[in-house]
Amino acid sequence: MEPTSQPAPLSKKILWTARVMSALPVLLLLFSGIMKFIPSPQLNEGFSHLGLPGSMAVGLGVLELGCTAIYLIPRTAVLGAILLTGYLGGAVLTHLRVGDPCWAQVLFGVFLWGGLYLRDVRLRALIPLRR
């Protein structure tokens, strides 16, 4: 049997960095998901600009909040990150299609995965980065 290398324990500084990296996009996704349940002229205008019917707002809100909830549960965080990557990929495509910038959606994905990588030993063992 070969010895297995264990990932190094996290310092408090790295753990807090990971938490902040994960919290920023989560808070914005929660806000965005909740806002999709509140009918408003701005919501309809935004959906119209993106070429989407306003009737899709509630379904997208459920999807966004559901994927975010899965990400927040430590045992299912990797699955949540995968689901949110798909959701954000759709958002990127939707914004690119109408000529809007999409850097925020890409940055959300980077922060979601970066924060998860820093705080989840299983993910660091699966994708070891070497110096």
For the chain, what is the domain count? 1
**55-63 contact pairs (CB < 8 A, 24+):** 60/36, 61/33, 61/34, 61/35, 61/36, 61/37, 62/33, 63/87
Kindly report, residue by residue over 51-64, the tens digit of the pLDDT.
999 999 999 999 99
The answer to whether position 131 is within a domain reads no
The answer to whether position 1 is within a domain reads no
Task: Give the domain extent around 85.
Answer: 12-126
The answer to whether position 5 is within a domain reads no
What angle in degrees, to the nearest 10, is found between the helix axes of 103-119 and 77-97? 170
106-128 per-residue burial string, b: 16 or more CB within 10 A, e: under 16: eebbebbbebbbbbbeebbeeee
The answer to whether position 96 is within a domain reads yes
The answer to whether position 92 is within a domain reads yes
The answer to whether position 43 is within a domain reads yes
The answer to whether position 3 is within a domain reads no
Per-residue pLDDT band for 122 (boundaries 50, 70, 90) equals: confident
pTM: 0.87
4 pLDDT more than 60: no
